[in-house]
Amino acid sequence: MKKIGLLLVGHIDAGSLHVGGDYPELYADILAPKGIELTTYRCDEGQMPDSLNEQDGWMCSPSRLSVYDDHAWLRDVEQLLRDMVAKESPYVGICFGHQLMAQALGATVAKADYGWGIGAKHYEVVAPQPWMDSTDDIVLAASHQDQVQSLPDSARLLAQSDYCPIGGMLIGDRAWTLQIHPEFTPALADSLLATRLTLFGEEKANAARATLTEPLQQERIAGWISNFFHQF
């Protein structure tokens, strides 16, 4: 069993918590069966790890915030990610955790000209890794307006899509990130879309909901996360 710290920087919208709980429950559901034991650090409430050695590796949750929002605790998390890279602590960042790592390493994160990326999305793997099962396209649910605008100097491109050119990054051999959500079930993604019709626009939201009939590769990417952490 690998002990992984989950840096909690945001929460599932209250209107959809009934589907599968908040991020700690959602990640436990897909990762516990694969030998990952999560400990949650409620960073948005000031709970930070005392040492990076407390856990075998680290993850950063998604968030409805933007990484450039002005919160002192968010700058603390950003510095923690830089420390992880410097100390080569194993790390996986999802959505906000992808964007925050990019910003921590000097890249720009901003609202995309494309607008909201929602529904099931395909991402092409451009840098195969030993912890992957195959290099087939990744299919997962997306829910983001911000995008990483350029690769940090210290990163390599891992995955991309037609609407999101920097959809995942590799930082050395001990950190990687992904924009889309392995923790989102079709039911959760649909609930989030249904409760945000005004935000997304009804036509775009309903088109995105229709894509969720395509199987999402939650178990596959959970396997990648587990394989990655079990290397160390």
pLDDT in tens, the chain (232 residues): 999 999 999 999 999 999 999 999 999 999 999 999 999 999 999 999 999 999 999 999 999 999 999 999 999 999 999 999 999 999 999 999 999 999 999 999 999 999 999 999 999 999 999 999 999 999 999 999 999 999 999 999 999 999 999 999 999 999 999 999 999 999 999 999 999 988 999 999 999 999 999 999 999 999 999 999 999 9
The one catalytic residue among 98, 122, 144, 181: 181
60 among known catalytic residues: no
Q: State the total domains in the chain.
A: 1
Q: How far is it, in rounded angstroms, from Cα 215 to Cα 193?
A: 17
122 among known catalytic residues: no
124 among known catalytic residues: no
The one catalytic residue among 43, 60, 95, 164: 95
Domain span at residue 223 reads 2-230
Computed on alpha carbons and rounded to an integer, the radius of gyration of the chain in Å comes to: 16
CATH of residue 58's domain is 3.40.50.880
